[in-house]
């Protein structure tokens, strides 16, 4: 059985041509060049999971020849689909030019079942530090002091491990043996207490029982009557603070229907872009993909985030830049005309490439279905 499948588009990713992002439990890997990196003509990928190495020396993008169409364009993105649904995944990307190594990048990310998580691998010139020389950089090496190229579990075994400690009973028996002579008699300096009889004790005088006292009535704390922030069928997946939470459900919804996950009867609504940034979303990441009531494109021209949902239609037009890293590098462009906002694990600029649009969010198709919604009160 293949452990992973890949969806590769090593260029600026356009979701219109890369619908693989709809699959659950996946990793969106962004590969970008660090300062001073020479232009590579090939990228190769290694992936390590809890049981060890699962992908080795895989060329990305996958090509049948080394022609111009196979050259990687950075920054670029690829999507990995693991068979496992939880745990930490570690990634290593090596860049080469004319078969010579020009840079490496490494990163790790925790899987979330049924969700897509994002991680950035930045390629730096030369080799990353690798203390044990096993080819796995120290930053992601589970055993940085012991060569373990396949990253199998068990660093103690590789390092020789600590000596076995005696069991408690063995320690106790050894202590008793030290106090006994070979013939079983106590050593000369041992003090043997004389035979003693228990003192003659008389029963206490007749005492009357205390007056009959009844135990206090069984009291239980009153039930918690505080209504949940989430509607029936949804639960709190994570919390920013007492007035902003993420509600998750097994039923996925587009942006227009995401409000149904909030307990609207109790006053909880889908958070607007302004509420999201002011209540912690600018800096805090929760690991859930959830809708926000914000829009950055609802027609031909993108714009800075506005409050409210977009039209949940699948219309397309001219391709436009819609997302950037918080360092200002292009992150996401697309031809879809209705682009809303959802949470993201790292900082992004959306709509316009200015510092005022920075937060832990990213652009999403308004018609796309997510399992979470950011709810505010």
Q: What is the pLDDT of residues 275-290, one digit of tens each?
A: 999 999 999 988 789 9
Inform me whether the pLDDT recorded for 170 exceeds 50.
no
Q: Where in the chain is the domain with CATH 3.10.100?
A: 235-376
Among 130-139, 160-169, 247-256, 299-308, which stretch is predicted with the lowest mean pLDDT?
160-169
Percent of the chain at pLDDT > 90 equals 63
How does pLDDT run across 63-79, given as a tens digit for each residue?
Answer: 655 555 577 889 999 89
CATH number of 235-376: 3.10.100
Q: Which two tokens stand for residue 2?
A: 């293949």
Q: What is the mean pLDDT of the chain?
A: 82
What was the pLDDT predicted at 124? 97
Q: Which two tokens stand for residue 353?
A: 């490439």
Inform me whether the pLDDT recorded for 263 exceeds 90.
yes
What was the pLDDT predicted at 294? 98
Confidence of residue 85 (pLDDT cuts 50, 70, 90): confident
Mean pLDDT, residues 357-373 taken together: 96
In this structure, which CATH number among 2.60.40.1120, 3.60.20.10, 2.60.40.1190, 3.40.50.970 belongs to the domain 4-154? 2.60.40.1120
Which comes out higher in pLDDT, residue 237 or 24?
237
Inform me whether the pLDDT recorded for 307 exceeds 70.
yes
Q: Give the phi and the psi of residue 376 in degrees, each rounded to 5.
A: -125, 155
The C-alpha atoms of residue 370 and residue 65 are separated, in whole angstroms, by 38
Inform me whether the pLDDT recorded for 213 exceeds 90.
no
Reduce the secondary structure of the chain to three states and give it as a string: CCCEEEEEECCCCCHHHCHHHHCCCEEEEEEEECCCCCCCCEEEEEEEECCEEEEEEEEECCCCCCCHHHCCCCCEEEEEEECCCCCEEEEEEEEEECCEEEEEEEEEEECCCCCEEEEEEEEEECCCCCCCCCCCCCCCCCCCCCCCCCCCCCHHHHHCCCCCCCCHHHHHHHHHHHHCCCCCCCCCCCCCCCCCCCCCCCCCCCCCCCCCCCCCCCCCCCCCCCCCCECCCCEEEEEEECCEEEEEEEEEECHHHHHHHECHHHCCEECEHHHHHHHHHCCCCCCCCEEEEEEEEECCCCCCCEECCCCCCCCEEEEEEEEEECCCCEEEEEEECEEEEEEEEEEEEECCCCHHHEEEEEEEECCCCEEEEEEEC
Mean pLDDT, residues 111-133 taken together: 94
Q: Where in the chain is the domain with CATH 2.60.40.1120?
A: 4-154
Confidence of residue 2 (pLDDT cuts 50, 70, 90): very low
Percent of the chain at pLDDT > 70 equals 76
Which comes out higher in pLDDT, residue 205 or 283?
283
What was the pLDDT predicted at 14? 29
The C-alpha atoms of residue 181 and residue 332 are separated, in whole angstroms, by 82
Distances (CA, A) of 88 to 47, 58, 135, 301: 11, 20, 19, 39
């Amino acid at each position: 059985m293949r452990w992973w499948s890949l969806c590769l588009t090593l260029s600026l990713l356009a979701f219109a041509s890369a619908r693989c992002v709809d699959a659950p439990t996946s990793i969106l890997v962004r590969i970008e060049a660090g300062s001073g990196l020479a232009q590579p003509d090939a990228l190769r990928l290694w992936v390590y999971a809890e049981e060890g190495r699962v992908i080795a020396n895989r060329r990305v993008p996958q090509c049948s020849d080394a022609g111009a169409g196979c050259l990687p364009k950075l920054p670029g993105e690829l999507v990995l689909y693991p068979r496992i649904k939880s745990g930490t995944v570690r990634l290593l990307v090596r860049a080469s030019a004319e078969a010579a190594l020009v840079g490496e990048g490494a990163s790790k990310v925790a899987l979330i079942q049924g969700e897509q998580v994002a991680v950035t691998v930045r390629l730096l010139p030369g080799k990353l530090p690798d203390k044990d020389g096993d080819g796995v950089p120290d930053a992601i090496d589970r055993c940085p002091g012991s060569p373990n190229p396949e990253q199998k579990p068990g660093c103690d075994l590789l390092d020789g491990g600590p000596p076995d400690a005696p069991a408690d009973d063995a320690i106790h028996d050894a202590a008793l043996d030290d106090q006994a002579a070979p013939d079983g008699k106590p050593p000369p300096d041992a003090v043997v207490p004389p035979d003693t009889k228990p003192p003659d004790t008389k029963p206490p005088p007749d005492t009357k029982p205390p007056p009959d006292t009844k135990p206090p009535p069984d009291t239980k704390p009153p039930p918690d009557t505080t209504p949940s922030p989430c509607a029936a069928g949804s639960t709190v997946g994570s919390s920013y603070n007492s007035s902003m939470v993420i509600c998750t459900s097994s039923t996925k919804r587009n942006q227009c229907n995401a409000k149904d996950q909030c307990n609207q009867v109790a006053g909880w609504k889908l958070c607007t872009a302004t509420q999201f940034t002011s209540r912690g979303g600018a800096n805090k990441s929760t690991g859930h993909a959830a809708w926000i009531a914000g829009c950055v494109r609802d027609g031909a021209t993108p714009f800075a985030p506005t409050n409210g949902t977009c039209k949940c239609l699948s219309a397309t037009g001219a391709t436009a830049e819609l997302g950037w890293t918080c360092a200002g590098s292009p992150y996401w462009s697309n031809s879809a005309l209705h682009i809303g906002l959802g949470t993201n694990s790292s900082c992004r600029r959306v709509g316009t490439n200015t510092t005022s649009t920075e937060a832990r969010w990213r652009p999403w198709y308004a018609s796309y279905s997510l399992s979470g919604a950011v709810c505010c009160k």
